[in-house]
Amino acid sequence: MISFMNDYSEGAHFNIIKRLVETDMEQAGGYCSDQYCKEAKDRIKAAIGTEAGDVDVEFLVGGTQTNMIMISTMLKPYQGVVSAKTGHIATHEAGAIEHSGHKVLELPPHDGKLDPMDVAKYLDTFYGDEAHDHMVFPGMIFISHPSELGTLYTKEELKAFRMICDKFGMKLYLDGARLGYGLASKGTDVTLKDIAQYCDAFYIGGTKVGALIGEAAVFMRGCKPEHFDTQIKQKGALLAKGRILGIQFAELFKDDLYMKISKHAIDMAVILKAAFVEKGYPMYIDSPTNQQFFILPDAKLDELAKDFKFARWEKVDETHSAVRFCTSWATKKENIEKLAAAL
Amino acid sequence: MISFMNDYSEGAHFNIIKRLVETDMEQAGGYCSDQYCKEAKDRIKAAIGTEAGDVDVEFLVGGTQTNMIMISTMLKPYQGVVSAKTGHIATHEAGAIEHSGHKVLELPPHDGKLDPMDVAKYLDTFYGDEAHDHMVFPGMIFISHPSELGTLYTKEELKAFRMICDKFGMKLYLDGARLGYGLASKGTDVTLKDIAQYCDAFYIGGTKVGALIGEAAVFMRGCKPEHFDTQIKQKGALLAKGRILGIQFAELFKDDLYMKISKHAIDMAVILKAAFVEKGYPMYIDSPTNQQFFILPDAKLDELAKDFKFARWEKVDETHSAVRFCTSWATKKENIEKLAAAL
Amino acid sequence: MISFMNDYSEGAHFNIIKRLVETDMEQAGGYCSDQYCKEAKDRIKAAIGTEAGDVDVEFLVGGTQTNMIMISTMLKPYQGVVSAKTGHIATHEAGAIEHSGHKVLELPPHDGKLDPMDVAKYLDTFYGDEAHDHMVFPGMIFISHPSELGTLYTKEELKAFRMICDKFGMKLYLDGARLGYGLASKGTDVTLKDIAQYCDAFYIGGTKVGALIGEAAVFMRGCKPEHFDTQIKQKGALLAKGRILGIQFAELFKDDLYMKISKHAIDMAVILKAAFVEKGYPMYIDSPTNQQFFILPDAKLDELAKDFKFARWEKVDETHSAVRFCTSWATKKENIEKLAAAL
Amino acid sequence: MISFMNDYSEGAHFNIIKRLVETDMEQAGGYCSDQYCKEAKDRIKAAIGTEAGDVDVEFLVGGTQTNMIMISTMLKPYQGVVSAKTGHIATHEAGAIEHSGHKVLELPPHDGKLDPMDVAKYLDTFYGDEAHDHMVFPGMIFISHPSELGTLYTKEELKAFRMICDKFGMKLYLDGARLGYGLASKGTDVTLKDIAQYCDAFYIGGTKVGALIGEAAVFMRGCKPEHFDTQIKQKGALLAKGRILGIQFAELFKDDLYMKISKHAIDMAVILKAAFVEKGYPMYIDSPTNQQFFILPDAKLDELAKDFKFARWEKVDETHSAVRFCTSWATKKENIEKLAAAL
């Protein structure tokens, strides 16, 4: 059985595993006070550069945890976060944001993305006509890059969100669970430095891009919440052996590994997409990243399911379904060839 | 200046005020342990009857408090509440439900109401296709009766919600901030007994229907949460002088006062509506209760605003706006006549 | 049956009731936007004066609600509040502070009071030896004045708390549920202006000092939390008919009524205390305010309980118990005389 | 520099590392749905046996997270958890329990332990004299085994806690962050099966006993909270690559590895203790587990600090301090010999 189910089916990239083995019996300080975490932070900061202002980096364990913590510690109690209705925080995080006390203010998605025009219009109405003292104040814009449907924001869109945030005193936060796959996408005009420039905070996903666990939370220009360690301890997110986060991100940001393995996933996605297109299967959405969505006859899907794993997205009509096939840093070309043959 | 701004501009009905004066220097037990609370509960229970099963009544102070408490104490931590996107809890309670840790699952409104068909479809999809372990479980249906746009549910609709709740293990909760005005509406086929039969919990609004403060929370068939007093104490909602809630509801449910004053509000609304209709102003929505919505030219509204208060609802076009005029238990017919003259 | 059980057995002072009657059918703005609230705030500000800096006044409904809201909106998420182990927030508020997410850091009481020396020592240790990143940061000192045992802080003690708060970046918050009875106590050197000078925030209790409901939250020198109305709406504490809070406090702070009725309660307490002392019953604690604590034989208590209500505090030995008798603004001298006769 | 600072300075046991390497490129299901998690659960269940009733095992990431989740999902909203004042949840978890909405009800510690007699007395008073509707209900007893001072409960004590819990309708929960070191201690009469018999829930610590990360939450006799996966997802504690928790615990519970490495730590602690005792340094507390506490002159400590890391516990007098030295599964005998030489 070959799985294209998601981008977290395998363990970690060989370099990371190798380094975990090498350092295993070294004694290190706890709670991310060790030298590996320091090294990892330095390398991430070097990749981000200094053009966009001061950078703080902290390590957390998983994506939902990171979203919940970054959003709830940056928002004020009377604020909510604006998100596409298909945003991960709005759909598949079990209400973690609301559990932390904040409303997710949902706007209609466009190919999985939030439209700056929609946000601007919403805010104009909010601050224009409404009796907003009894309403949740929009304090942050949440975007995923790539989005939950694999699509990407443009530099123009990020800039537009930035202008909106500046105008209305809001924060721009970017969920980068699959950030590498977005940055490595062919044709994107958005770089890591752009993200650092336009966002107040974002995270660089590790779990889905080569690490065993771990996400690197980045706060720009002094946006890191006060007593951050205490706040994450309070939420059960502070790892005793923080070193394993440091070791992983130190490897991922050594010799451009993060981008290299991300590029591999994109290369595999391009081949995979071509295989579907060649057979004439329509795209459900045209994604430039590692998540690929197609519409296939259910009968064909049942046949494929004997040898391949993939995610059933939704019924399209009586006899067809949309499905998602993911590539990742770990995808083998031979497996895509087997899939192509099966198609 | 005459106000039709809302239904809570005046104090309390004369009978209530009179009784507060009469009982003022009596010594009573604290925290709703007094005889007035007992009397009020008995009268409310008598009005509800025993046909629909056991009834528990508790007194709370205000509407948002009551919604927040009833919803958050009845839901399990992993559950959210389904509401129309225009529902009070979704719009004008400052995120109180989310602040209590629960997501409001928003569906499109139809004339301010939630459609049972929409809910059924949503639940079928939720339990059918979706990976719901990472999603918020729908644990309750929230409806306002009358709705935030003054419209009313039919008995058939309540029955449909009940069937949905039974099928999916959910609670049906009805926000009755203006319940009297719904029950007294001409043509409604929904009675208090129907509400008790179909809902698991609801509240009988006092603040907007003749009381100074106070809402009567009703739990049917054993739905009252355990240690309710402790839970509301914890949320700062337990009144030391609970007697003032008891005294008020004892009066409201004496000699049918609650329905009599509600009917007065409806009678006034009928006259008010006729005045607008007669002048040819279109209805924004056709409401059978005490909230009336019309579309008027902005110039006319500016003129009216010199002598009357009302709520601007939303811009309809460049030169027209929708507005809300409320009647209440306290509305004087002469004031409606003055308004009619001004129209 | 005559009750000395507590200080909230009766309704409201006659002046308040009279004013509620007079204003009943006036139309007023909602949510404390009315002229009565404005008038009440102005009078309270006048009583506090301007010497201690800017003053903000807001109205809330009850004591636990006020403590929970003032503490949770002033603390940062990683902070807790230091309190005597006998403090109301630590014992009899059903965990409302913890329910809002904050730890109550309990120190041993001395006659119901927190000792500045204990607090200073605790803070020196906290910031000296401890690994405080994994600990709750002390962000506020909570004191009740009078304390839960009727005792009073001195001006020197308030000053000491102020110095501690300044040194450690903390807020000083005073629970004034019975503030009038503290200020009117014979021999106290603490005035309302002192409290305004030394505290960052406090509340002036209405429920126990002549009002039906209501507490006046006072924030000094810009300490009022941002978007306070939205925050209290979110917690279900914003009254639609805020006018009834305004009307009551406007009366309480007209012609010094608050202090006059507080003084009456103290006068009654002095007589009541003398009656017990004269009969040789030992004091459980020597309280200078309206709560009086004595130790009596259980047999005697059972006898008294036939005609009088009072609070059993705790068993002192096999045959004796400590009990609390409260006077209040509403206590009638004749009832104390009846009690004295029964003793 | 040799560290005895804590028991989480090294990475993971070699068997675990080896297995992580071997399985790295296998594709596995997400969120603990993989075969390794299943295998690990089966082995843990086998170690616990079936005598004490049904067993549920779930994997979480760290200790504070596990305490917070197990306590907050098992308690009802109106309940708190009884703990020694020195309990980890009461001191060094940054208020995580309170952040989840529950009060930690603190009782005095005895050598770091909670005394069943104290708890019984507290509960008798609570349900006897107190007005408990306004108080936090004690819903759970929290104990750490070993305690934060390395001490151990006896079987008799566990039995006593069980009887108390049965009498008062409470849950008994045991924090087993260092459980292996407790079970392997010489002279303890408490086995894993005893813990399963007397407790409602507990966790088997991985982070401090040989794993990179991970704790195994055990729920006995149906105590696992409903929709547990959703609840932990909501708190950001559900790992996408749950396999790494499964792989680790599958190794730890293969061929008795968990007990073998725990026994090693105890053997090392015995030697370490002997070295101190031999030099005449008094014990701060007599611990039978891997945490050892001694009192040394500050001058000597400064000298030791040049070559060794250890934890300063507290100042004992002007010139002496209590310190903690930890052994662990990873402690090398040669390092203890170097320490002994330096003493």
Q: What angle do CA C186, C190, C193 make, to 5 degrees?
A: 130
Residue C33, min C-alpha distance to chain D (Å)? 33
Tell me chain D's radius of gyration from C-alpha atoms: 20
Kindly list the residues of chain B whose beta carbon comes within 8 Å of any beta carbon in chain D.
Answer: 31, 73, 76-78, 133-135, 137, 226-227, 229-231, 233-234, 238
The pLDDT score that the predictor gives to residue B131 is: 59
- Cα separation, B150 vs B178, whole angstroms: 9
Please name every residue paired with D312 in a beta bridge, in sequence order, or none if there are none. Answer: D323
B164 confidence band (pLDDT: 50, 70, 90): very high
**What value does the mean pLDDT take over residues D59-73?**
98
Pair B92, B144: CB distance under 8 Å: no
The pLDDT score that the predictor gives to residue B132 is: 81
**Tens digits of pLDDT across chain A (343 residues):** 999 999 999 999 999 999 999 999 999 999 999 999 999 999 999 999 999 999 999 999 999 999 999 999 999 999 999 999 999 999 999 999 999 999 999 999 999 999 999 999 999 999 986 658 999 999 999 999 999 999 999 999 999 999 999 999 999 999 999 999 999 999 899 999 999 999 999 999 999 999 999 999 999 999 999 999 999 999 999 999 999 999 999 999 999 999 999 999 999 999 999 999 999 999 999 999 999 999 999 999 999 999 999 999 989 999 999 999 999 999 999 999 999 999 9
Residue B322, min C-alpha distance to chain C (Å)? 21
The DSSP letter of residue D136 is P
Does pTM surpass 0.90? yes
Q: What angle do CA B124, A99, D227 make, to 5 degrees?
A: 50
Residue D135, min C-alpha distance to chain B (Å)? 7
Fold annotation for B2-7+258-342: Aspartate Aminotransferase, domain 1 (3.90.1150)
How is residue C70 written in tokens? 């003032």
- CB–CB contact B134 A80 (8 Å): no
| Closest-CA residue to B325 (of B268, B260, B278) | B268
How is residue D47 written in tokens? 């170690």
Q: Give the three-class secondary structure for C208.
A: coil
Q: Which helix (H) or strand (E) holds C303?
A: helix C298-304
Indicate the CATH number of C14-256 among 3.40.50.11740, 3.40.640.10, 3.90.1170.40, 3.20.20.70. Answer: 3.40.640.10
Residues of D in contact with A339 (CB under 8 A): none
Q: Taking the alpha carbons of D21, D23, D27, D31 in that order, is the dihedral positive or negative? A: negative
In the block, tokens 């014979």 appear at: C186
- Cα separation, C27 vs D20, whole angstroms: 73
pLDDT of residue C131 exceeding 80, the answer is: no
**Identity of the residue in C95, C233, C309 whose CB atom sits nearest the CB atom of B93:** C233
Q: How many CB atoms lie within 10 A of CB D54?
A: 12
| Closest-CA residue to D207 (of D4, D5, D13) | D13
In the block, tokens 């996933």 appear at: A265
- Cα separation, A168 vs B116, whole angstroms: 38
- Cα separation, B235 vs B66, whole angstroms: 11
- CB–CB contact A99 D235 (8 Å): yes
| Closest-CA residue to C218 (of C185, C182, C179) | C179
In the block, tokens 């891997």 appear at: D290
| Closest-CA residue to A16 (of A223, A187, A275, A258) | A258
List, for residues A197-210, the tens digit of each pLDDT value. Answer: 999 999 999 999 99
| Closest-CA residue to B328 (of C61, C240, A133) | C240
Q: Is the peptide bond before A116 cis (omega within 30 degrees of 0)?
A: no
Residues of B in contact with D77 (CB under 8 A): 73, 231, 234
pLDDT of residue C13 exceeding 80, the answer is: yes
**Domain segments of chain D as ranges:** 2-7+258-342, 14-255
Mutation target among B230, B232, B233 for the D interface, most CBs of D within 10 A: B230
Residue C135, min C-alpha distance to chain A (Å)? 7
How is residue A147 written in tokens? 């989005």
ipTM: 0.96
| Closest-CA residue to B274 (of B336, B331, B186) | B336
- Cα separation, A284 vs A294, whole angstroms: 5
Fold annotation for A15-255: Aspartate Aminotransferase; domain 2 (3.40.640)
Strands (E), D195-319: 201-205, 215-220, 283-285, 291-297, 308-309, 311-315
- Cα separation, A319 vs B145, whole angstroms: 42
Q: How many CB pairs under 8 A join B and D?
A: 42
Burial of B110 (0-12, 13-18, 19+ CB in 10 A): middle
Q: Which helix (H) or strand (E) holds A293?
A: strand A291-297
Residues of A in contact with D30 (CB under 8 A): 5-6, 8-9
Summarize chain C as % helix, strand, coil (round to 5): 40, 20, 40
In the block, tokens 């977005």 appear at: A182
Residue D316, min C-alpha distance to chain C (Å)? 12
- CB–CB contact D78 B133 (8 Å): no
Q: Which helix (H) or strand (E) holds B79?
A: strand B79-84
- CB–CB contact A207 D241 (8 Å): yes
Q: List C-alpha distances in Å: D42 to D47, D75, D175, D250.
A: 9, 27, 21, 9
Region for D227 from its dihedrals, namely left if φ exceeds 0, alpha if ψ lies in -120 to 50, beta otherwise: left
List, for residues D285-340, the tens digit of each pLDDT value. Answer: 999 999 999 999 999 999 999 999 999 998 999 999 999 999 999 999 999 999 99
Pair C37, C245: CB distance under 8 Å: yes
| CA within 13 Å, CB half, A227 | 18
- CB–CB contact D236 A95 (8 Å): no
CATH number of D14-255: 3.40.640.10
Q: What's the first-to-final CA gap in chain C, in angstroms? A: 15
List, for residues D88-140, the tens digit of each pLDDT value. Answer: 999 999 999 999 999 999 999 999 999 999 999 999 999 986 658 999 999 99
Find, in chain D, the residue whose alpha carbon is nearest to that of B76.
D226
How is residue B129 written in tokens? 């296709």
List, for residues C59-106, the tens digit of each pLDDT value. Answer: 999 999 999 999 999 999 999 999 999 999 999 999 999 999 999 999
How is residue B268 written in tokens? 């006034």
How is residue D322 written in tokens? 């209590």
Q: Is the peptide bond before D146 cis (omega within 30 degrees of 0)?
A: yes
Q: Taking the alpha carbons of A126, A128, A133, A137 in that order, is the dihedral positive or negative? A: positive
In this structure, what are the phi and psi dihedrals at residue D145, rounded to the nearest 5 degrees?
-135, 105
How is residue D220 written in tokens? 């006995």
- CB–CB contact A103 B102 (8 Å): no
Find, in chain B, the residue whose alpha carbon is nearest to that of C92.
B233
